[in-house]
Structures are given as C-alpha cells and as structure tokens.
Structure 1
Amino acid sequence: MTTGSDIHVWLQAHAARTTWNLLHDWWTMLPKTKRTLAAADAVIRQGRRELDWLGVLPAQAAQAVLKTYFQAWKNCWEGRAGAPDFKARFRTRMSIDIPQGRDLQVVRVHRRWGMANIPKLGRVRFRWTKDLPVGKHAGKDHRITGARLIKDALGWHIAFRVTNLAEAPAAHPGPQVGIDAGITVPLALSDGETAEHGPWLSKEEEVRLLRFEQHAARRKAHRKKGERTSRRLHKTYDQIARIRATAKRRREDWQHKTTTAIAETYGTVVVEALHITNMTRSAKGTVEQPGTKVVQKAGLNRSILGEAWGRTVALLAYKLAHRGGTLAQVPAQGTSQECAQCHTVTPGSRRSQAEFVCNNPACGGEGNADHNAARTALHRFRTGHALVPAAGRAVVRRAGHGVEPATAR
C-alpha cells in the first residue's frame, strides 16, 4: 500500500495503540462490578473529546479498538488465550481498523492497482492481488464489510474483510491420504509423494542477516543497563526484521500453494496431532539439574518453529472444508517407530532419518521412514483411532490484500 500521508497513518496507528493502553489501565483499575462495555465506550468518547492527539483516530476505529479489547477479555475468560496486556511502542504491530465497508469506496484503477478511501487519510493506492466485490460485482451477499491497515517490517498493507454467501460444497470425491510433517522432508504423503522447499533465504541474505545480528549484539553490549536503545540499534533491528519478514512471506506462500494442491487432490487428509509447545520446550533445565545438549535442542526448536506445522494444519482445515473435504487428526505417539505393514513397534526399526526397516522377523518391511509414518497415520484413521476432526467452516471468510490472507489460493 502506498500513501502520500505516511505521517498521518503513523499518528492514527499510535493513537489506536494508545487507546488500547489507556483503556487497559482504566479497565484494570476499576472494581469488577463497574467494568461494563457502556462505561468503557463513554470513557473513550470523553478521551477523544479532551485529547486532541486521540481525536486523529476516527470514531469507528476507536470503537473497533474497544470491541477488540472486550473480545480479548472474553477469550481469556473462556480459556482460549491469556489476559490482554500493555502494547509496547516498538514491539507491537501497528494497525488501524476500518470497520465499515461503505467508507472504503474501493475502485480498481487498472490491472495492478486499486484505490481505497481511508477516513481522515484520504485516498490510498494498493496492489490489486485478489478479486474484490466492487462495482457491478458487489451485492447484498457479496460485499466488502471492512478493512485493516497493518504495518510490518516491509511496509504498510491493507487487508479487506469480505462476506460471501456460498452454497455448502458437495462431498470431495478425492482419495484418502496420510501426511507426516518433518524437518528434512517438510511433508511426506502416504502415497509416496513429498512436498519440499528450499531455504527461505538466499546465501547473500543469510550473510546479511548474520552481519546485522552481530552488529546488534555488539551495540547492545555497549548499552548500559536502563539506558534507552539508540536510534542506530533500532535501525539495525529494523534491518533484521525486514529480512526475517521476507523469509516468513516466502514460507507462507509455499504453505498456501502446497495446502491448496493437497486440498484439491484429496478428499480426506489425516495428520498427526502434534503438541508443538511440548516439542519445542527448552532443554536448559534448572540450576540443580541442568539439561544436556542445550544448543542442539535449541537448533532443533528453531527448525520446528520455522516449518510452522500448526499453520499448515490450519490452512488445510479451512481449504478442505471449502472444497467439501475432511481433515482428521490421529495420535502422534509411535508413528515413526510403527511398521506400516505389520503395525508392530520394534526397537531400532528407524535406522536413520530416512530409512525404516522393520525388525519383526515375520515382516521385514522396509522403506522410507517418512512415508512409513504417513501410512501409519492413515491406518490409524481407518481403524477408528481418529481424534475429534479439526474444525472447518462451510462459509469461508475471505481476506485479500495483506499480510494475513485467509482465503484459498
């Protein structure tokens, strides 16, 4: 997204962040009996009247901050997330919500660019990367309902919220397949196919990232305790963030394309129910009982988190639901040691990262270890060992032009 009034975008984004922080302070200081949505709404209105720098935020955007904050507390009360917290200036992703689609007045300029109206900012230009219901293509059941401006390390972006009423899809006629997620082979399928990718960063980008990280470490070492971070160090942090954001975008692009291909090919996809939080727990231990191979475990944790297995499963869930397919999860324990032919677990069957040889004398099956685990997961599903299926939505929420796409590609 490009705009000629970047300073005004920053002012609105900081006003939205400050509104959240002031609301959080007011909410936590009040007795629980006086915490109501109506009282919070009145406080925000009063603050916008008395503080000019809060008034730069449109009223609808301020109401969106209140709605998001209240929803955050509901998620906390229902056990879905932790309690809302203070939003720091340099660690918080800047964003502005436009909750009413009629204010946007989106038009397509030509094939690659579009224009949208942002309250108190004016017309802004954005890259047209997905179809939007504008002009004659818009209707009561297919229209833009809002948008969000988002600032990441690579610049400002706009994500549109689109409502689309569609018929429930027919059952997917595709076959069943099991998937094993790994590091060396990102996705191994039970039918022998694999989904692989190269490094997210080129050699030159990795060298630049290492150099910036070394610069940041040296500058941080010279900073005294309690001293404010220098602008030079903040600039180095921004350079690091831009390179990492580039790698993240490439990973998300690969995930979208891969999961779309799987959802279009297969009717039932079976994955392991992985507890990634437990898998990436630190091996540091305690002072009394220090851990072993801490550095190696830290590297393994980075590799696991870099693959973002949880996000891959989430993408598969809604893309399969959109096409009439099903995503099922089975227990992950022992899938890498169980033979896919005789379904027995024998010690030492997995000879290496890629080789599996069953030690059962009556079987002697061998093959690729990743494909063996995928076939084992599929067998567990067929024999009734599936857990509660991952939730899918019949009506798919579509969002486009931004860093948080939520639609099939």
Structure 2
Amino acid sequence: MSDRGLETRQFGHRARLALSPALAVKADDQAHAARTMWNLLHAWWQMMPKEKRTLANADAAIRQARQDIDFLAVLPAQAAQAVLKTYFQAWKSCWAGRADTPNFKARFRSTLTVDVPQGRDLNIVRVHRRWGMASLPKIGRVRFRWTKELPVGKQAGEGYRITGARLVKDALGWHIAFRVQTLERVPEAHQGPQVGIDVGITVPLALSDGETYEHGEWLTSREQARLLGLEQRA
C-alpha cells in the first residue's frame, strides 16, 4: 500500500486462444508434463522422510527429473517451478485446515493447465480491435481474443501491469488467464452507524433500521415476451 491512499489489487482476465493444431499439441504436451510433474512430486513427498521434505530437496529432484526424462523437458523451467510452488502451497493450506490433503491428479479428471509465472515473458501486443498476441515459452507466438483493456505498451507501469498468466483447457479449447496488478484508491471508512442488509425478491433490499428499497421492472416487455415463449416451449 502506498502513502497516497492507494493499495495493490489483483484481478484476472480470461481470453480465448486461437491455436493452430501444431501449437495446440505443444500446449497439450506441456499440460500433461505439468500433471506428471505434480504426480512425481507427490510420490517423492510420500517416499521421503519428513526431515528431507524441503523446498530445496524438491527443487533438486525436479531439476534432475527434467534432465533424465525427455517427456518432462517440454515443460519450461519456470512452469516446473510453478508446479513445485503450487504443490507446497497445497500442503500449507492443508495444514491450516483450509483444504484437503493433496493427491495424485488423474489424466481424465483433472484440468489441463500450464503456468506462465513471469509477465515479462508474454510480450503482449494488440494487433487488431479484437485480437492480441502473446509469447508462450516453448510454444511460440499465439493469438488471443481481445475483450478487455490490458496494461500493455504505454499503458503499463509499476502499479498497473500483467504479472503472469495461466493456460487452461476446457471443452471449448485453450484459454489464457492473465494475472493483472493494479493500484486502486482505498475507500474511506464509513463514519456513520452500521446497518444490516437483507436481499430478497418481493422486497429487493431491506435494511436493519426498517428502511426498504424497491427495484424497477426486472424484465422489459421484450424480455417478458421471450421468457413466456421459452416457458411455453418447455
């Protein structure tokens, strides 16, 4: 938080990637390698004595695995480090009681993901009103749908920048989720008394002091006609 009443905020923005078949295969290979890295790391964790389950030992094991197993070499080094960081964070969340014990990731029940920890590696450029381009390690230059203003070029700064990204594959294909850091003004603390708010349908807002707030028409006449048609069809 800065001295000018600004604080750092993080938010994400997800955009669809337009990958050629060859680039999609590269992304798939990296995601499967990342899943395998997680599973090998989990097996290593279970096999090692407690006193040797350290971040340094795990990092050394990952580096050795990437040298010995060609399949894992397709995963960029920074993405492999991100797997290690996520795995250790999963154990910390488990110990704090916020999550279950980490487990192996099944091939067909886990989401394919690849992390790009460093935002500077992306080299994002807007090339069209609807398209942007980014560089992905060991994949190449790719296009993505530009649906939201992003801090690139002259718009980027120390307080407003992209800090990284993650590739995610779902039923519609590959997407890229950008991690964006921004500075926002800290809202001033409310000086008046506290009040409870109850949200409803008949009465949209009811306050604990007895005051209520009404809402306008929920649907326009056109929306009501469309809803009626859908109900009749059902």
Please say whether Structure 1 and Structure 2 have the same fold, judged by a TM-score greater than 0.5: yes
Please state if 1:118 is matched with 2:136: yes
Question: Are the equivalent residues in 2 in contact too, given 1:179–1:187 (CA < 8 A)?
Answer: no
Within 2, Cα distance between the matches of 1:110 and 1:31?
54
Aligned in 2, Cα 1:85/1:171: closer, same or farther, shift over 3 Å? same
Within 1, Cα distance between the matches of 2:104 and 2:184?
39
SS in 2 for 1:61: helix
Deviations 1:170-194 (A, max 9, x none): 347999662346xxx5994223546
SS in 1 for 2:185: coil
Normalising by structure 2, we get a TM-score of 0.77
**Which residue is 2:197 aligned to?**
178
Q: How does 1:83-162 map to 2 (within 5 A)?
A: 83-162=101-180
Higher strand share: 2
Higher helix share: 1
**Which residue is 2:181 aligned to?**
163
Deviations 1:7-48 (A, max 9, x none): 111000000011001100110111111100000000000000
**Which residue is 1:45 aligned to?**
63
**Which residue is 2:19 aligned to?**
3
Deviations 1:279-314 (A, max 9, x none): xxxxxxxxxxxxxxxxxxxxxxxxxxxxxxxxxxxx
Deviation at 1:65, TM superposition (A): 0.3
Within 2, Cα distance between the matches of 1:167 and 1:19?
41
Q: How does 1:349-364 map to 2 (within 5 A)?
A: none
Please state if 1:61 is matched with 2:61: no
One-letter identity of the residue aligned with 1:134: V
Match of 2:50 among 29, 32, 45: 32
Question: Are the equivalent residues in 2 in contact too, given 1:177–1:189 (CA < 8 A)?
Answer: no
Deviates more, 1:93-102 or 1:136-145: 136-145
Deviation at 1:56, TM superposition (A): 0.3
Quote the sequence identity (%): 62
**Which residue is 1:81 aligned to?**
99
Give structure 2 stretches of 5+ with no counterpart: 1-16, 207-211, 224-228
Question: Are the equivalent residues in 1 in contact too, given 2:203–2:213 (CA < 8 A)?
Answer: no
Within 2, Cα distance between the matches of 1:179 and 1:88?
43
Aligned in 2, Cα 1:110/1:39: closer, same or farther, shift over 3 Å? same
Deviation at 1:142, TM superposition (A): 1.5
Deviations 1:252-297 (A, max 9, x none): xxxxxxxxxxxxxxxxxxxxxxxxxxxxxxxxxxxxxxxxxxxxxx
Deviation at 1:122, TM superposition (A): 0.4
Q: How does 1:240-389 map to 2 (within 5 A)?
A: none
Within 2, Cα distance between the matches of 1:25 and 1:188?
53
- Higher relative contact order at CA 8 Å, sep ≥6: structure 1 or structure 2? 2
One-letter identity of the residue aligned with 1:3: L
Moved over 6 A (4+): 172-175, 194-198
Give structure 1 stretches of 5+ with no counterpart: 208-409
Work out which of the two has the higher radius of gyration on C-alpha atoms and give 1 or 2: 1
Within 1, Cα distance between the matches of 2:112 and 2:183?
31
Q: Supply the RMSD in Å over aligned alpha carbons.
A: 2.8
